[in-house]
Structure 1
Amino acid sequence: MTAVAETAEAVLGPDPRTAYREALLELAAADPRVICLDSDTGGLEDTFAEQFPDQYVNIGIAEANLMTVAAGLASRGFIPYVHTMATFATMRAAEFLKLDVVGNRLPVRVIATHGGLSAAHFGTTHFALEDLAVARALAELAVVVPGDGRQIGAATRQLHELPGPAYLRLGRSATPVPPGPAPDFRLGRARVLRDGTDVTIVATGPLPLLFALEAADDLAGDGIAAQVLELHTLHPLDRDGLLAGCRGRAGVVTVEEHRPQGGMGDAAAEVASADLAVPMRRLAVRGTPGARVASQRDALAAHGVSTAAVVDAARQLLAHDQNERPARHGAAATRTR
């Protein structure tokens, strides 16, 4: 783990889809095995197809077929990059992703855009709040969620080198990134963005990471030192990095743009509970989003994921720790006697 940023400022990073497409063009130029499979997502026909027409196929809005075609190409030595929205990749095409791609350990890269509530303005059909649970359940699938748009190029290049399948979850639009130079992305390695010894905030995804950093700033104003840990890789999970971030703190707050079932919070709890007795507060999208059209940030806040919610959760953990401390000392004294 590497400490990088100390504060969060609202500086927009690169558009995630543009950053990804630039990386894909570089890979295609260097590796003729790269095949771009489109599902009418828009944009790839004007970028990739113009430069590499023989390496581009638009399957159309047929996500199940998209996975099957990708599996067939991968079995013949190609490296297909599949493009669709996150909810369609893991819901509509789940069986074909499971059986044809992951079941055969084929080097297919699923590029899932519009992750979480980044397409909230399109309505409930485009929400992707269960995709990480599905992806994590497919044990042979690498799962990456960049929290900083500047990580996307490195993440794409590193996933390209894997022998098996991968799932890269992207948002729809540019989001703020932490200040400072572009991060050193390392697949499967957690990142410490801010050091702190009182409580740890673990975040996955761009806006959750922003909320975590904003919350750490707010807490610092009251003398509370919060560590901010980014888990951009959910599989393979950095078990050692996560445990190091949990030890010695009053507790852990997890923040994600996903339902509480099966996402990063579950992954972190599975690791922490196996080795540590550490209190946790898990912030995820709860309730039923979609009652009204809202921006991504407003939709998240309305369902429990915001800077204020992170601050409240951290304070609850610290208050609990203060209340428990006398009891722990008393128990220790009793055992000593």
Structure 2
Amino acid sequence: MSETQMGGTDLSSDPEAWLRDNPKLSNRQIFRHALARFAEQDPRLVLLEADLGGGGDPFEARHKDRYFNLGICEATMLDMACGMAHVGHVVFAHTFAPFGAMRACEQVRLGMAYPRANVKLVCDYGGVSGAFFGPTHHAIEDLAILRSMPGMLVLSPADGLETILATRAMIDHAGPVYMRLGRNRVSRLEEPRGGFTLGRALCFREGSDVGLIAHGEVGVSVALEAAQRLESQGVSARVVNMHTLKPLDEAAVLETAERTRLLVTVEEHTILGGLGGAVCETVCARGLGRQVLRIGIQDRYDPLAGSHESLLRGHGLDGAAVAERVLASLSTRRN
């Protein structure tokens, strides 16, 4: 089934209408549909997967000659992707985040990043979204690892619309990209946005007391909920969607620091080396002298499997918990 047959709207020309016609798709499913649609427009696109294919996959169904399922062989998949990129293809390699970022880390470093291969590594199961599979399927370190690789562009879209726009932008970008998605969460944000530009953050909400800087399906929605709760307590919160972690929009960090009294990062990633680390680096390098409250996955592995939401709550990644921590920090600063 083509994208125009799914509700009669075209994902490419009117992604917002297409999303309204397909309200139950998760971001990882939206990525599949977006890539299949864009492949109709660009014959260079190729999709490689590590045992993620199956009945009904739109890319496999509509572009069989450009689809390769390599099985559970992530390193081989990345080697093949880099080779195909060097002969002119725009290659998307799709797998789970813990395996793409860590099991195949050497291939990403030496095959993708070092020669700046035109490969787009797209990974599901970011953060603890692979909840009930346990820590082997959690990806809490991936952004820290890949953000440190020279030449790598790192993305973490906040909802379905941003996933479509980011996929389009990746195709147009010549060079290695890592895009991180979740698992089954359906994300549809109502906040208006003026397009999508790699490396340029979006301000979703203005505020003067606290600057909440977030990324991803969980981080941005939690930050927006926290901002609403803070407003009910008389605290004005600015919310910035930092969808590109590398290159980081340092101007957005500086502007938020100038407009607020406290910087807070919110992300489904370890508080070490991800967005929290990147913002702290900017604050220190620019000599801003600002406190940064880092909210994310704590420095531990979860010993037990559980639901996604229960694991997030265990790490304080929900709107109520974030608002409470912000209020406590503001109270301490006043004293």
- The TM-score, its normalising length taken from structure 2, stands at 0.88
The yes-or-no answer on 1:231 pairing with 2:242 is yes
Find the aligned partners of 2:29 and 2:187 in 1 and give their Cα distance.
15
The yes-or-no answer on 1:109 pairing with 2:120 is yes
Q: Find the residue that maps to 1:292 and give its secondary structure.
A: coil
Shift of 1:277: 1.1
Deviation by residue 1:164-201 (Cα, 9 ceiling, x = unmatched): 11011011113343325576322111111111001111
The yes-or-no answer on 1:119 pairing with 2:145 is no
1:145 and 1:205 in contact (8 A); partners too: yes
Find the aligned partners of 1:184 and 1:298 in 2 and give their Cα distance.
34
Greater shift, 106-115 or 301-310, is seen at 301-310
Identity over the aligned pairs, expressed in percent?
A: 37
Deviation by residue 1:253-310 (Cα, 9 ceiling, x = unmatched): 1111111221110001111222211111101211534333322121011023222331
Q: Find the residue that maps to 1:23 and give its secondary structure.
A: helix
The yes-or-no answer on 1:138 pairing with 2:149 is yes
Q: Which of residues 165, 184, 188 is equivalent to 2:199?
A: 188
Alignment of 1:68-87 (within 5 A): 68-87=79-98
Shift of 1:44: 7.5
Match of residue 334 from structure 1: none
Find the aligned partners of 1:14 and 1:227 in 2 and give their Cα distance.
29
- The TM-score, its normalising length taken from structure 1, stands at 0.88
**Distance change (3 Å), C-alpha of 1:245 and 1:119:** same
Tell me how large the CA RMSD over aligned residues is.
Answer: 1.7
1:90 and 1:131 in contact (8 A); partners too: yes
**Distance change (3 Å), C-alpha of 1:75 and 1:19:** same
Q: Find the residue that maps to 2:294 and give its secondary structure.
A: strand
Matching residue's letter, 1:267: A
Q: Find the residue that maps to 2:123 and give its secondary structure.
A: strand
Q: Which of residues 152, 167, 176 is equivalent to 1:165?
A: 176
Alignment of 1:10-25 (within 5 A): 14-25=25-36
Find the aligned partners of 1:59 and 1:279 in 2 and give their Cα distance.
46
Find the aligned partners of 1:281 and 1:268 in 2 and give their Cα distance.
10
Alignment length, in residue pairs?
Answer: 312
Q: Find the residue that maps to 1:245 and give its secondary structure.
A: helix
**Distance change (3 Å), C-alpha of 1:13 and 1:274:** farther
Compare CA radii of gyration and give the structure with the larger one: 1
Q: Which of residues 294, 316, 326 is equivalent to 1:304?
A: 316
Greater shift, 124-133 or 38-47, is seen at 38-47
Q: Which consecutive residues of structure 1, in runs of 5 or more, have no partner in the other structure?
A: 1-11, 324-337
Using CA pairs under 8 Å that are at least 6 residues apart, name the structure with larger relative contact order, 1 or 2.
1
1:279 and 1:317 in contact (8 A); partners too: no
Match of residue 65 from structure 2: 54
1:13 and 1:176 in contact (8 A); partners too: no
The yes-or-no answer on 1:90 pairing with 2:75 is no
Shift of 1:157: 0.4
Q: Find the residue that maps to 1:284 and give its secondary structure.
A: strand
Shift of 1:320: 3.5
